[in-house]
Copies of this chain bind each other. A is one copy, B any other.
C-alpha cells in the first residue's frame, strides 16, 4: 500500500521535476518542405549583401586599375553625346500631342459636341498613330537608332490612353442617363479626402497625373497616400542611382557584347530597379497610394502564377481591358488566356524587332511557348519543383531568346565584313 502511494506521488511529480523535462520534441527541419516554413527574408538580404560586396570589389578593382571611371560629367556627357538619346527626347515632346488629343476628344464627348462614333474614331486614329508613327520613322530613316526604352514608353502610353477611353464610356453613359449631380466637380468627402466627379476629371492636371502615375489602369480617383515621406523617397532615390551607376552604365557601355554580363542577373536587377525603386519613388512623389507593382512571383509554382504576378500594372490592364471583356463576350477562359498571351507576344516582338529593324519572331515565339510550358508545369510539377521549373525557364529561356537576336543581328550586319 505505501509502495503504491509512493508510485502515485512519483508519477504525479514526474513532469515537474527538471531532470525529466525533455529538451527534444518531434518536429521537422525548417528547410524540409514538409515543415511549411517560408520566412527567408534573410536569404533575400544575403543576395543583396553579396551583390553589394561583389560590386564594391569590382568598383575597388577598377578604381585601382583605371582611377575614377564613373564621374557625373561622364554620365551627363554619355546622354548628351549618345546618338539615340535625342530621338527619345523628340518622342517625349511628340507624345504630349497624343495625350492632349485624347483629352480634347473626351472633353468634346462629355459636352456632347462629339457623337460616340466620332469620339471612338478619334481615339482609334490617335492610338494607331501613336503605335505606328515611331516605328515608321525608325524603319524609314536608317540614321535614327532609338533605344528599346523609347518603344517601351510608346507602348505604356498607348495602354494608358486605351484604359482612359475604355473607362470613360460607362462613366459617361451613367452620367448622361442618370443625370448625375454635376455641381462642384471636386467634392470634399470624409474630411479633406478630395474626390473628383465625372466631367471634373478631364483636366490637364489629372491627365498628366495619370500618365506619370505608376499604373496603366485609369480611375477617376486613385487611392492617395497622406504625405511624401522624405526618408522613403531618399532611400529609393539612393537605390536607383546606385543601381544605375553600378549596373546600368556598364550594361549600356557593353551593350554590344551582351553575353559577357549574365543576362538573368541583369533582368533581376532591372526588375528591382524598375518595379521597386523607380515605381515606389514616383508613387511617393505623386502621393500615389497603391504600391502593389508586383506580387510574390519569386514563389510562383506555376508559369501562369509568374505571369500574373511579376508585372501587376500590366496584368491589371490585361485583366480589365482584355481578358474580362472577352469573357463577357462569351469566349472561353482558355481562348481568352491565349489571346492575352498573343497580345503580349505581339508587343514583345514590336519592342525588339522595330529598334533592331529585324523581324525574326523569336520574342513572339518565346512568349507563345509559355502556353505549352504553363500547361506542362501545371500538369506535372508541384511545390518546390514547380518553382524550380519556373526559375529554370527564366534563367535559361531569356538568354536563349537574346542569343537568337544577337546571332541574327551579327549575321545580318557583320557577316559581309568578315567575309
Do the beta carbons of A42 and B300 come within 8 Å of each other?
Answer: yes
Whether B299 and A19, one on each chain, are in contact in the complex, defined by CB atoms closer than 8 angstroms, is no
Could you say which residues of chain B place their CB within 8 Å of the CB of A7?
Answer: 181
A318 to chain B, nearest CB (A): 12
Q: A354 near B: Cβ within 8 Å? A: no
Task: Tell me the A15-36 residues at the B interface (CB within 8 Å).
Answer: 17-19, 22-32
Q: Does A388 contact B (CB under 8 A)?
A: yes
Nearest chain B residue, comparing its CB with the CB of A320:
B23
Count of chain copies: 2
User: In the complex, what distance in Å separates the CA atom of A38 from the CA atom of B298?
Assistant: 12
Kindly state the separation between the CA atoms of A48 and B248 in the bound complex, as whole angstroms: 27
Return the CB mask of A175-205 against B: 1 if under 8 Å, else 0: 0001111000000000000000000000000
Asked if A167 is at the interface (CB within 8 A of a chain B CB), the reply is yes
* Contact pattern, A 152-181, Cβ under 8 Å of B = 1, otherwise 0: 000000000000000100110010001111
For residue A379, CB closer than 8 A to chain B, the reply is no
Which B residues lie within 8 Å of A290 (CB)? Answer: 24-27
> 26 A-B pairs, CB-CB below 8 angstroms?
A6-B179, A7-B181, A9-B178, A19-B174, A23-B219, A23-B316, A24-B217, A24-B222, A25-B290, A26-B289, A27-B292, A29-B279, A29-B293, A30-B295, A30-B296, A31-B44, A31-B272, A31-B294, A32-B291, A42-B297, A42-B300, A42-B387, A43-B298, A45-B391, A48-B388, A53-B392
Give 5 closest A-B pairs by Cβ, nearest first: A42-B298, A19-B170, A26-B289, A40-B40, A42-B299
User: Footprint of B on A, CB under 8 Å?
Assistant: 3, 6-7, 9-10, 17-19, 22-32, 37-50, 53, 167, 170-171, 174, 178-181, 215, 217, 219, 221-225, 272, 276, 279-280, 289-300, 316, 320, 384, 387-388, 391-392, 395
